[in-house]
């Protein structure tokens, strides 16, 4: 720990600098970094004990060196430097603890599980995971929440007061906790100091003290277990959220309607929802719960793709799709199937793949009872019953049921020919001219240039007839066959 003598020496330096500034300009107002000498005592005994006051946030301290150390929160001063890696610290005790990351020394051991720690206070905190002790309780009469650490209680109190003393010097955004400010600064600097030892992916924060979450993606390890239902999780924060499904705890409250939520992200979504109820698309009149969902939906009609890949200039409607696409350049596939060891770039693709092992098809059509492995497939199928065509060409206003068909149609206007012959470099609008047939039937191994052709072919194996006549209920494998059949009812002659 930093000694009182250290604090007094530093205080004398601060006072010396303050005296020089005052001599140069006596009329200058006292700065926020000066120390209140405490000559004027408080009105009561409590104020008398805390007579050293910070001029930035008015916080009071009993000892001068505590105030001096506190001032560094506002100034950002870190006078204690590591001789090995040049990292700096506001407190000498933090430097001493940091040095052990270089030496690997962990002198403090738990007598119950033999786990060792570099700092004694980390051991004391760890012991509470065995005892369940939470000695710090919120004095607020509404929540009665308890905490294992005093710093967690202090952070919690700010949820009641709304205090946000830590400000970003770049964008002036304020935060309740200094650690949150430190993380926020990385959004400006782009710093990602933590890297996965397996795939070398870098991260802005290290969520777990011993095992970064990125490593658990590769190992499949889920060290955090629910004591009620034995469900396991990779992150403690996910376990904490899960526990609330058992306890019914909803600590996050809407300030407008007082509705309570278990997860702060749900509260944030709710707040957006209350700002604008049921925003509606002006093109197709579809309604949404959230405004940002409407904004993304509108891109279906406009064709806007604001998120661009810096490698190949391909554009996307959603940032999540861009992030997934980037992995096609890096080759990163962090999500692995535990049954066949096949790896995937996206977790959603892994979830879909697992259904090929289990045979699960959880999504069912309410009209014909057909089941699907994915919700997107069910939604696409529903359009065969409703006749809905939400995708509109902005040039000729022709409508389509599927966005992939709209994309092909747009090429008739733009003249785009994205497929080229590797021999003569002639370009084409579709793969049919190139001879490429990337889509393969898993039953007979026949190959197709277009995925829609493969889907139609599969019906020859399954016997599926998804298109039905509304007059006589006759079923057809293809929509074109249904359209031809409809003419037998209307009397229209075949072309």
What is the per-residue pLDDT for 47? 54
Q: Is the pLDDT of residue 138 over 50?
A: yes
- The residue extents of the domains of the chain are 53-133, 305-358, 363-490
pLDDT one-digit tens code per residue, 394-411: 889 888 887 778 888 888
At the topology level, CATH places domain 363-490 in Double Stranded RNA Binding Domain (3.30.160)
Spatial separation of the C-alpha atoms in residues 97 and 119, rounded to whole Å:
7
Q: Is the pLDDT of residue 73 over 70?
A: yes
What is the per-residue pLDDT for 350? 82
At the topology level, CATH places domain 53-133 in Double Stranded RNA Binding Domain (3.30.160)
Specify the CATH class of 305-358 in words.
alpha beta
* Torsion from C-alpha of 75, 80, 82, 83, nearest 10 degrees: 120
pLDDT one-digit tens code per residue, 141-154: 667 788 888 888 88
pLDDT one-digit tens code per residue, 358-393: 777 888 888 888 888 778 778 878 877 887 888 888
Q: Is the pLDDT of residue 276 over 60?
A: no
Q: Is the pLDDT of residue 12 over 60?
A: no
What rounded mean pLDDT belongs to the chain? 76
Q: Is the pLDDT of residue 41 over 70?
A: no
Q: Is the pLDDT of residue 5 over 50?
A: no
Q: Is the pLDDT of residue 198 over 60?
A: yes
- This prediction has a pTM of 0.30
Stretch 319-344: mean pLDDT = 82
Stretch 314-336: mean pLDDT = 83
Q: Is the pLDDT of residue 66 over 70?
A: yes
């Amino acid at each position: 720990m930093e000694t009182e003598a250290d604090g007094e020496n530093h205080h004398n330096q601060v006072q010396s600098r303050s005296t020089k500034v005052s001599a140069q300009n006596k009329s200058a107002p006292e700065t926020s970094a000066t120390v209140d000498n405490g000559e004027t005592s408080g009105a009561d005994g409590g104020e008398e004990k805390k007579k050293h006051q910070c001029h930035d946030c008015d916080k009071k301290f009993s000892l001068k060196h505590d105030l001096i150390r506190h001032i560094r929160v506002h100034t950002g001063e870190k006078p204690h430097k590591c001789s090995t890696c040049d990292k700096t610290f506001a407190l000498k005790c933090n430097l001493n603890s940091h040095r052990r990351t270089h030496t690997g020394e962990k002198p403090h051991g738990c007598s119950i599980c033999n786990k060792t720690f570099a700092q004694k206070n980390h051991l004391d905190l760890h012991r509470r995971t065995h005892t369940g002790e939470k000695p710090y309780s919120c004095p607020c009469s509404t929540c009665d929440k308890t905490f294992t650490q005093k710093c967690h209680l202090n952070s919690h109190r700010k949820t009641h007061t709304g205090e946000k003393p830590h400000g970003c010097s770049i964008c002036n955004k304020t935060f309740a906790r200094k650690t949150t400010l430190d993380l926020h600064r990385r959004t400006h600097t782009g710093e990602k100091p933590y890297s996965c030892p397996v795939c070398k992916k870098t991260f802005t924060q290290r969520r777990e003290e011993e095992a970064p979450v990125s490593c658990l993606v590769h190992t499949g390890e889920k060290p955090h277990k629910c004591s009620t239902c034995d469900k396991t999780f990779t992150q403690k924060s996910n376990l904490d959220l899960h526990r609330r499904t058992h306890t019914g705890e909803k600590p996050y409250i809407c300030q407008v309607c007082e509705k309570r939520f278990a997860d702060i992200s749900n509260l944030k979504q709710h707040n957006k929802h209350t700002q604008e109820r049921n925003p509606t698309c002006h093109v197709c009149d579809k309604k949404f719960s959230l405004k940002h969902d409407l904004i993304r939906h509108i891109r279906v009609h406009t064709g806007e793709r604001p998120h661009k890949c810096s490698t190949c200039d391909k554009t996307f409607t959603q940032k999540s799709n861009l992030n997934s696409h980037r992995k096609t350049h890096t080759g990163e596939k962090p999500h692995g199937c535990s049954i066949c060891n096949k790896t995937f770039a996206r977790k959603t693709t892994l979830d879909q793949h697992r259904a090929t092992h289990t045979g699960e098809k959880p999504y069912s059509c309410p009209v014909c009872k057909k089941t699907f492995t994915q919700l997107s497939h069910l939604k696409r199928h529903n359009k065969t019953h409703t006749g809905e065509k939400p995708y509109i060409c902005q040039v000729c206003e022709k409508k389509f049921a599927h966005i992939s068909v709209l994309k092909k149609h747009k090429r008739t206007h733009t003249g785009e020919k994205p497929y080229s012959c590797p021999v003569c470099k002639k370009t084409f609008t579709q793969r049919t001219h190139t001879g490429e047939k990337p889509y393969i039937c898993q039953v007979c191994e026949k190959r197709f240039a277009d995925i829609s052709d493969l889907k139609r072919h599969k019906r020859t194996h399954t016997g599926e007839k998804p298109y039905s006549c509304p007059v006589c209920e006759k079923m057809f494998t293809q929509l074109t066959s249904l359209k031809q059949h409809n003419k037998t009812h209307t009397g229209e002659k075949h072309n």
